[in-house]
Amino acid sequence: MKFSVEKKEKYVLLSIQESKLNSSVSPELKAEFVVLNSENVKNIVVDLSQVVYCDSSGLSALLVGNRFCRNSNGSFILSSIQEHVKKLISISQLDSILTSTPTVSEAVDLLFMEEIEKQIQKE
């Protein structure tokens, strides 16, 4: 599976560089989420701009990442979702579970807003 991981100060940007997120690549994606979780990464932005097809195993991998982030009180945000993938998420009724934004920059803005809200709630 081709992907890039950019570690920023408050989050990790994971850019998937595959056209298909299916059973042949999803185990590697899940493994990457496990690695990031073990490194105590709690905020992940996933850039799906190059993914035009996704199946149930791809969705499962994304849900693993989402669960790791939520369990560590972090944020998991999908960005730049193509139409077919967006429809699958909607049909699967996962649009209420998975957070998404139209662009990576909007995902980063949302992530920082959520971080501020969590800080305010702590005080």
Domain map of the chain by residue range?
3-122
pLDDT digits (tens, 9 = 90+) for 6-50: 999 999 999 999 999 999 999 999 999 999 999 999 999 999 999
Query: In Å, how far are 32, 35, 58 from 88, measured between CA atoms?
Result: 23, 27, 11
Q: Regarding the domain with residue range 3-122, which homologous superfamily does it belong to in the CATH classification? A: STAS domain (3.30.750.24)
Q: Around Cβ 72, how many Cβ atoms within 10 Å? A: 14
Q: Across residues 87-112, what is the average pLDDT?
A: 95
Regarding pTM above 0.75, the answer is: yes
d(C-alpha 81, C-alpha 50), whole Å:
8
pLDDT tens sequence across 58-98: 999 999 999 999 999 999 999 999 999 999 999 999 999 99
Count of residues for the chain? 123
